[in-house]
Chains A and B, each alone.
Chain A
Amino acid sequence: MIKTLELHGISKSFPGVQALDSIDFSLEAGTIGGLIGENGAGKSTLLKVLSGAYIPEKGTIKIDGKQYTFKSTKDALSAGIAVIYQELNLVPEMTVAENMMLGHFPVNKTGLIDFNSMYETATKQLQYIMEEIDPQAKIKTLPIAQRQMIEISKALLLNARIIAFDEPTSSLSQKEIRNLFRIINTLKEQGKTIIYVSHRLEEVFEICDSVTVFRDGKLIEKFEDMKKVNHDILVSKMVGREISDIYNYRERERSDVPLLSVKDFVCPGLKIPASFDLYKGEILGFFGLVGAGRTELMKGLYGAVRHSQGTVSLEGRTIQIKSPKDSIRQGIAFLPEDRKDEGIIPIRSVEENINISSRRDNLKMKFFIDREWEKTNADSFIQKLDIKTPSRQQIIKNLSGGNQQKVILARWLGEHISVLIMDEPTRGIDVGTKNEIYNLMYKLTEMGISIICVSSDLPEIMGICDRLVIMREGKIVNTILRNEMDKEQILSYALPAKHKEHQTA
């Protein structure tokens, strides 16, 4: 039988790295094939080979038995392969319809763009995937989930037969994920071949017909029957060793005296003043859907956004926080959700990214940079946190997400902090590194540091937190202890009232 997609012996290397090592992989029409693996395992490289962005050194690509050589992304598109990346490729200032037909605008007899036919086609296509989106709306006005639908429509308009999704759910809410899965399943029923790359194993189990594990550029194993595999098997295949429980929760001692007390706090993004306490040495989780106001509250506390009302006290004394600088002086540090845009200085070295804040207390004559201190400090954190980098001078954007996260963590560990706010600390980070980051968090709590952990990953929140604050639509709705945590219950608090019927239905 001819497979829709057939890869044979695909190899691709970069200086010093064998990114893909003779990969044999195939998928049949009307199936969804999951690809999993840690960062750097080769999934993204494989997608880039499929999309024509990378040209493999060896190997062949066959679609419906016909061999292709892709020299550009255009070749791949015309062969029927579309890749929908995590960072969507849309033009924010152009309309939905314009984006859907970018590069293939319909023209009328005079050679001008035929807007009527463009909007007509767009409307039809959007109806086809049952999305109520105004084709004349500008992309920048749409939420991520809808933008993703536009990308899918774009691929369908080009008659893509093979559609690859790269981490499609990483910034979607539960409800949006449901909708995406519905559409992916529709595409499958229509005989499209779907490649689904994700870090979230539960999603892979839910939607995929087969799953293939990559590690270090090699295809480790393909499981054709999802019933014959479970979560633990996949994790151990991905990591290459057994990880019994990635959360590895340890019972901690918590004091009953609040370290940080927040009262009647109001900042942009909050609908009702927020109050909560953070105890010494605990990990306090903040769970909620996207838009529940968690990040906004944290940015307010950190001083990245001005708050209009409320008091914050640290160890009993009221503190004034007007800027991140104030906050750091008080010993409160923040790891932003968006590492690339808010965390790292991408084109600078690991060393500079570590020392950016703490160097101010380690100057020579209180003015000049102490090069020796900078080197020693960077090297010691690279070693302590096991940051995988060729040297401290490596440009940080060349590191994996997990290692970038460790660098930002190192930045704060050089300061005398007592509160660490972590916003989605493990988003986009592979299982092995996740485990390392959790262990680091535990070590910090043992040192007496209290951690606030904002996360949309419910198993993670339930796995590592001592207490949990649940937010919904700009307000804190409940606070529960570890032993009271129940998945259904937490979700029912987090979901807006009008969606609850959906859930039970």
Chain B
Amino acid sequence: MAQFSKQGIQKSLRSIWEDSGMLVIFIVLFLLLAIFVPYFLTWRNMIGLGLSVSMVGMVSCTMLFCLASGDFDLSVENVIAFSGVTAAVIINSTNNIFFGIMLGVLGGGLIGFLNGFIIAKGRINALITTLAMSQIVRGLAFIVAGGEARSIGNAKFFVLGNGMILGIPAPIWITIICFVVFAILIRSTTFGKNTVAIGGNKEAARLAGINVDKTRMLIFSIQGLMAGFAGVVLASRMTSGQPNTSQGFSLDVISACVLGGVSLSGGVAPILGAIVGVLIMGTVQNAMNLMNIPTFYQYVVRGLILLIAVLIDQFKQQTRKV
């Protein structure tokens, strides 16, 4: 049988490596950790791992759109703080949970829309725009909170972040639903296809009849809504709105996407890659915690993983060319 020949196996292994190298790395990593790290492969730890990646996972769905269109958003971490605080303050003052959640999410959406508007219509680069916006929004978060964490009085709100469905915490379900919805959006709708086309060549996309400005504003608005929602979920988990939360989170999300093969120059949107990227980052961190590796070293390790991943990717592309 030809397909079982040594050559055939080599060939199929190579194509698996080329198409989904990161997935292979993740599986190998997972197996190694399961074998060598005590307590890693326990239900409790798996749930903990799921919870720890849920925030990055949710926001990476929309960050994927930003990156695919050739932009990125550094303000998500501040939107998370702002929306969490807003929800906390509103719920405490009105005792209306729905109202609090809505305002938190819509507030994030508004900030996202402003980002998109300035980037698309004002033709300001995304780095500057979202950097400036992140300062403003972090300030707003402190202003709304009155400078300190606001614990939330209504315990019903905590269900969003701490409730269990079929033994699995709500945030994990939310993350899974987000991935499904955004996978469909990016792969099977004109919005998704237009996003990728814009990242591939803005001018060509415009001349092909795509409303580039509108699409970019939509991408950033959705990103804002998602970050706002993540902020509300986080506030629910922490039972309080904290204005100084999630610092450095934007880069965590971007790193996870890049790790999964999303290009910073736009034009590609491998959502499965992004999921794997999120999982690798989370798994490594989880294992390091289990092994009691001090936080300082964890930073170094995470940075190294990102560098090695992009170097491997570059190497793969070069060998393919020859």
Contact = CB atoms under 8 A, between A and B. Distances in A.
A411 B208 CA distance: 8
B197 A345 contact: yes
Contacts of B201: 341-342, 344-346
A94 to B, nearest CB: 22
Contacts, number: 69
A343 B210 contact: no
A94 B200 CA distance: 28
Interface string B295-306: 000000000000
B189 A367 contact: yes
A232 to B, nearest CB: 37
A324 B207 contact: yes
Contact of A352 (B197, B203, B207, B210): B197
Interface in B185-241: 187-190, 193, 196-197, 200-201, 203-211
Contact of A369 (B188, B203, B208, B211): B188
Contacts of B203: 341-342
A15 to B, nearest CB: 8
A275 interface: no
A359 B190 CA distance: 8
A328 B206 CA distance: 11
B193 A359 contact: yes
A367 B184 CA distance: 11
Contact of B209 (A328, A336, A346, A347): A328
B91 interface: no
Contact of B211 (A323, A348, A371): A323
B204 A325 contact: no
Contact of B208 (A324, A346, A363): A324
B193 A356 contact: yes
Given A352-B197, A356-B197, A369 B189 contact: yes
Given A345-B200, A348-B200, A369 B207 contact: no
A342 B212 CA distance: 13
Nearest to A412: B208
A128 interface: no
B57 interface: no
B268 interface: yes
Interface string B252-290: 000000000000000110000000000000000000000
Nearest to B205: A345
A347 B184 CA distance: 21
B29 to A, nearest CB: 29
Contacts of A359: 190, 193
In this complex, the interface size class of chain A, counting residues with CB under 8 Å from chain B, is 20 to 34
Q: Interface on chain B toward A: helix, strand, loop, or mixed SS?
A: helix
Contacts of B209: 324-325, 327-328, 357
Interface string A319-345: 000011101100000101000011111
B45 to A, nearest CB: 38
B267 A348 contact: yes
Indicate the member of B184, B203, B205, B209 with the most A CB atoms within 10 Å.
B209
A345 B207 contact: no
Interface string A93-120: 0000000000000000000000000000
A324 B203 CA distance: 11
A347 B196 CA distance: 10
Contacts of A341: 201, 203-204
Interface in A401-419: 411
Contacts of A346: 200-201
A502 B91 CA distance: 82
A324 B205 CA distance: 10
Nearest to B191: A367
A356 B207 contact: no
Given A341-B203, A341-B204, A343-B204, A325 B210 contact: yes
B188 A304 contact: no
Given A347-B200, A348-B196, A348-B200, A342 B207 contact: yes
B70 to A, nearest CB: 11
B193 A336 contact: no
B189 A368 contact: yes
Contacts of B197: 345, 348, 352, 356
A344 to B, nearest CB: 6
Nearest to B203: A342
A214 to B, nearest CB: 24
A411 B209 CA distance: 11
B204 A369 contact: no
A414 to B, nearest CB: 11
A346 B199 CA distance: 10
A140 interface: no
Contacts of B211: 323, 325
Contacts of A367: 189
Interface string B113-127: 000000000000000
Contacts of B184: 368
A360 interface: yes
A291 to B, nearest CB: 20
A242 to B, nearest CB: 37
Nearest to B187: A369
A304 B208 contact: no
B173 to A, nearest CB: 24
Contacts of B193: 352, 356, 359, 369
Contacts of A360: 190
Contact of A344 (B190, B204, B210, B268): B204
Contact of B188 (A302, A334, A344, A368): A368
A400 B209 CA distance: 24
Interface string A343-378: 111111000100011011001000111010000000
Contacts of A369: 187-190, 193
A334 B207 CA distance: 8
| Shortest 4 CB-CB contacts between residues of A and residues of B | A345-B200, A328-B209, A325-B209, A369-B188
Interface of A: 302, 304, 323-325, 327-328, 334, 336, 341-348, 352, 356-357, 359-360, 363, 367-369, 371, 411
Interface of B: 184, 187-190, 193, 196-197, 200-201, 203-211, 267-268
Given A345-B204, A357-B208, 10 more contacts: A324-B208, A325-B209, A325-B211, A342-B201, A345-B196, A348-B197, A352-B196, A356-B193, A363-B190, A369-B187
28 contacts: A302-B207, A304-B206, A304-B207, A323-B211, A324-B206, A324-B207, A324-B208, A325-B209, A334-B207, A341-B201, A342-B207, A343-B207, A344-B204, A345-B197, A345-B200, A345-B201, A345-B205, A346-B200, A348-B196, A348-B200, A352-B196, A356-B193, A356-B210, A359-B193, A360-B190, A369-B189, A369-B193, A411-B208
